[in-house]
């Protein structure tokens, strides 16, 4: 018995001695600390966001964008492998908090992509910022996350998704200035995304001088939209904005045409429906629909090859609308790492955390799939180029994506 203990103690001592000898060059100083990536170890990044339950497509979609970005680098950065950890945030604040706590405790993690749902960020961002980490969300759209008055816990937070504030505003401007609409109505589906978008739209539209005549809501999984549509028809709007997701959006698009009083209303949705699935779901109602979305037109070739890689890797088309944002976010992170990492002669890397965070915030004119990205001091990196597309007979016939936006015109 005693012999075992003695042998064990000797072993531990030997291990410790071994560790003491293998020190490298002096690390640069950084107020948030420095991550050391030993030679032969991978650069560790993480994705956090919902991967289970009813909202899992949102997180899975973005995670695949991250994985394809890694594949495009052949899994290597600065001669180190890239390793990816994923954490499920359950689309709830407490899930986000737990995921973030776990990632924050892992001292090898360099940077993060996520979260998927804005609720997750609200719960988790403090743990990440406190740990000196920086995360870029591909799909959070809640305006408050990058508002001017956001508190210090958001210092480590950026996003490539468009704040609802941009998109709702752009749609309001298009409706009022371009289409000359004076009376508009909105529908949301109870999700934070849709609710915020339609509210921003309503506020901006009113500020421009228009009138919001009805703000209705439907619930997820609803198929018969006629009660909501009939109520809206009674208020006689010229435009109907329903920034919801594919399934409900399809039903609304279709049934609005069949509702007396709404036959000729201008129907517009947002990027949550900007997928070929929407055309399938809306059927005969797809043609003549408008959709707002980031302007993909300049980068179609890159996007087409992204879609090919996605099909080959996962055996299916993208499952939601934020994969391109995730791809861009990942590449932004990689660029920043390349900029700030200090290479040592023994092959190890030093990555100062504050410098990395600053480098990501300093991203300027980054060419991504979703546009040219530049980050604002409050973390908005999404190209503020919101475009409006029209679904014409071509797209209704199965071609995707639309060739060019109808607004803004050059």
Partner 1 sequence: MATNAAQAPSGRLIERVTELAIQAFLWAFRIVVVLIVVVGSILTLAQGRYSAAVWVDLAITGAALGSIYALVALGYTMVYGILRMINFAHGEVFMAGMFAGYFTAVALNNMGVLNANPLASIVSIVVMILVAAALSTVVSLIVERIAYRPLRNAPRLVPLISAIGASFVLQYTFRGFFGPGVYAYPPITILDGKAPIPFIDIQWAEVLVIGSAIAMMIGLYLFVMRSKTGTAIRAVSEDQSAAALMGIDVNRTIVTTFAIGAALAGAAGVLYAQLFHQFNYFVGFFPGLKAFTAAVLGGIGNIPGAMLGGLFLGEIEMIGPVLFLTGLGVPAANQLKDVIAFTMLVLVLVFRPQGLLGERVTRNRA
Partner 2 sequence: MTSDAVATAPLETGTEAVPSIIAWRDVIRIGLIGAAIAIYLCLVGIVPVFHERQLIAGVITLGQVALFGSMALPGAFAARKASTLRDALLTGAVAGLITGLAVTLLVVVGSVVDLRVMFLNASPELYSMLTMGMGTAGAWIPAVEGLLLGALAAGVGQLPDRIRSPLVRGLLAVLVVGLFAGLLRAPLLSAGLGSLSAVLFTSDGLTVVGAVLVFSVVVLGRVVRQRVAVGERIAALPDERRQQLRIPAIAGLVAIVLILPLLLGPFFAQVIALVALYILMAFGLNITLGLAGLLDLGFVAFFAVGAYTVGLFTSTAEYGLLDIPFWLAVPFAMLFAAIFGAILGLPILSIRGDYLAIATLGFGEIIRLLAGSNLLLPLLGGPRGIINIPKPFEVPSTSFFSGPGQIYYIALAFAVVVAFVAWRLRNGRIGRAWIAIREDEDVAEAVGINLIQTKLLAYVLGAAFAGLGGAVFAGLVGSIFPSSINLFVSINVAAIVIVGGMGSIPGVALGALFLIGIPELFREFADYRFLFYGMALIGMMLYRPEGIWPSGIARRELHVEDESQVILAGDTTPITRGGMS
> Applying CB under 8 A, which residues contact partner 2?
1, 4, 12, 15-16, 18-20, 22, 38, 41-42, 44, 51-52, 56, 83, 85-88, 91-94, 97-99, 101-102, 104-108, 117, 119, 122-123, 126-127, 130, 190-192, 195-196, 215, 217, 219, 314-316
| C-beta closer to partner 2: residue 176 or 322 | 322
For residue 309, give both structure tokens.
């890689």
Give the nearest distance from C-beta 301 to partner 2 in angstroms.
26
Select from partner 1, partner 2, none the partner in contact with residue 250, using the beta carbon and a kind-dependent cut-off of 5 to 8 Å: partner 1
| C-beta closer to partner 2: residue 190 or 283 | 190
Give the nearest distance from C-beta 3 to partner 1 in angstroms.
48
Backbone angles phi, psi at 259, to 5 degrees: -90, 125
Give the nearest distance from C-beta 250 to partner 1 in angstroms.
7
Give the nearest distance from C-beta 268 to partner 1 in angstroms.
19
Label residue 369 left, alpha or beta by phi (over 0 means left) and psi (-120 to 50 means alpha): alpha
Residue 34's beta-bridge partner residues? 352
| C-beta closer to partner 1: residue 208 or 247 | 247
Cα dihedral sign for 38, 68, 165, 187? negative
| C-beta closer to partner 1: residue 28 or 227 | 227
| Measured distance CA(167)–CA(204) in Å, rounded | 11
Label residue 261 left, alpha or beta by phi (over 0 means left) and psi (-120 to 50 means alpha): left
| C-beta closer to partner 2: residue 69 or 381 | 69
Q: Is the peptide bond before 408 cis (omega within 30 degrees of 0)?
A: yes
Give the nearest distance from C-beta 146 to partner 2 in angstroms.
15
| Measured distance CA(38)–CA(409) in Å, rounded | 51
Judged on CB neighbours under 10 Å (0-12, 13-18, 19+), 108 is: middle
| Those residues with Cβ within 8 angstroms of residue 358's Cβ, 6 or more apart along the chain or in another chain | none
Select from partner 2, partner 1, none the partner in contact with residue 222, using the beta carbon and a kind-dependent cut-off of 5 to 8 Å: partner 1
Helical pair 323-340 and 353-361, crossing angle rounded to 10 deg: 130
CA 169 to chain centre: 19
| Measured distance CA(376)–CA(371) in Å, rounded | 15
Select from partner 2, partner 1, none the partner in contact with residue 101, using the beta carbon and a kind-dependent cut-off of 5 to 8 Å: partner 2
Give the nearest distance from C-beta 380 to partner 2 in angstroms.
19
Are 33 and 353 in contact, with CB atoms under 8 Å apart? Answer: yes
| C-beta closer to partner 1: residue 28 or 283 | 283
Give the nearest distance from C-beta 169 to partner 2 in angstroms.
18
| C-beta closer to partner 1: residue 251 or 350 | 251
Select from partner 2, partner 1, none the partner in contact with residue 18, using the beta carbon and a kind-dependent cut-off of 5 to 8 Å: partner 2
Contacts to partner 1 by CB under 8 A: 51-54, 56-57, 60, 190, 215-219, 221-224, 226-228, 230-231, 234, 246-247, 250, 260, 277, 280-281, 283-284, 314-317, 319
* Cα radius of gyration (the chain): 24
């Amino acid at each position: 018995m005693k012999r075992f203990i003695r042998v064990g103690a000797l072993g531990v001592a030997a291990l410790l001695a071994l560790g003491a000898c293998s020190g490298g060059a002096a690390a640069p100083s950084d107020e948030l600390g420095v991550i050391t990536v030993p030679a032969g170890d991978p650069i560790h990044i993480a994705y956090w966001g919902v991967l289970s339950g009813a909202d899992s497509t949102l997180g899975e979609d973005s995670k695949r964008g991250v994985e394809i970005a890694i594949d495009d680098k052949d899994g290597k950065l600065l001669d180190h492998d890239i390793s990816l950890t994923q954490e499920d945030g359950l689309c709830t604040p407490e899930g986000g908090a737990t995921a973030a706590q776990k990632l924050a405790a892992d001292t090898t993690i360099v940077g993060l992509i996520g979260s998927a749902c804005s609720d997750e960020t609200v719960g988790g961002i403090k743990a990440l910022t406190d740990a000196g980490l920086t995360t870029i969300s591909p799909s959070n759209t809640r305006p408050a996350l990058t508002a001017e008055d956001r508190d210090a816990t958001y210092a480590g937070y950026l996003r490539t998704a468009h704040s609802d504030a941009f998109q709702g505003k752009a749609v309001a401007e298009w409706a009022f200035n371009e289409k000359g609409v004076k009376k508009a109505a909105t529908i949301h589906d109870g999700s934070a995304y849709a609710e915020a978008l339609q509210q921003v739209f309503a506020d901006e539209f009113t500020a421009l001088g228009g009138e919001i005549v009805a703000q209705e809501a439907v619930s997820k999984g609803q198929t018969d939209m006629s009660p909501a549509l009939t109520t809206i028809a009674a208020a006689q709007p010229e435009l109907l904005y329903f920034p919801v997701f594919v399934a409900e959006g399809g039903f609304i698009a279709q049934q609005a045409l069949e509702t007396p009083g709404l036959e000729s209303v201008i129907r517009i949705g947002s990027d949550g429906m900007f997928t070929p699935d929407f055309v399938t779901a809306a059927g005969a109602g797809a043609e003549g629909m408008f959709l707002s979305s980031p302007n993909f037109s300049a980068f179609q070739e890159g996007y087409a090859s992204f879609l090919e890689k996605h099909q080959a890797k996962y055996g299916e088309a993208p499952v939601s609308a934020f994969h391109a944002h995730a791809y861009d976010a990942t590449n932004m992170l990689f660029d920043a790492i390349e900029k700030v990492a200090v290479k040592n002669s023994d092959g190890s890397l030093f990555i100062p955390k504050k410098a990395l965070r600053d480098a990501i915030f300093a991203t300027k004119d980054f060419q991504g799939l979703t546009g040219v990205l530049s980050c604002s001091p409050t973390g908005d990196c999404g190209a503020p180029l919101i475009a409006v597309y029209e679904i014409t007979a071509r797209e209704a016939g199965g071609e995707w994506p639309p060739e060019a936006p109808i607004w803004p015109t050059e």
